[in-house]
Amino acid sequence: FKSVTFEDSLFKNCVFEDITSLNTYFRNCTFVNTAFYNTDLEQYKFVDSELINCTFFHTRTGCQISFDDDYSAYWIYFVNFLGTLAVLPGNIVSALLMDRIGRLTMLG
């Protein structure tokens, strides 16, 4: 789940398995006989929810990277642009060498 909010929902006899969530919350939900196995759903994600006979197995911490914090689309594109610029001199040199010494020699 990336950014899902469940409101006023009933989960009965459910199994949540191998779930990683980011900004996912359960508001005013009821969980009855529900098992959480290998999830990163922690107590603060259950806002005003009622857990009846629920078990948590192998709780883990998930990847909590969100682009709202320190990462923005600008930096992702900028780093990608710098990587492309790093390859540019090699492309220019190989194009010039290909014209000078020939394609078959370049392959060799």
Structure confidence at residue 21 (pLDDT): 81
* Domain 5-57 superfamily per CATH: E3 ubiquitin-protein ligase SopA (2.160.20.80)
Tens digit of each residue's pLDDT, the chain (108 residues): 778 899 999 999 999 998 888 788 999 999 999 999 988 888 889 999 999 999 998 887 655 555 555 567 778 888 899 999 999 999 898 888 888 888 888 877
Of 11, 58, 54, nearest to 39 by C-alpha is 58
The domain segmentation of the chain, as residue ranges, is 5-57, 69-107
CA separation (Å) from 5 to 13, 61, 64, 96?
20, 19, 17, 57
Lookup result for tokens 């969100």? 66
As given in the structure block, the two tokens for residue 5 are 């909010």
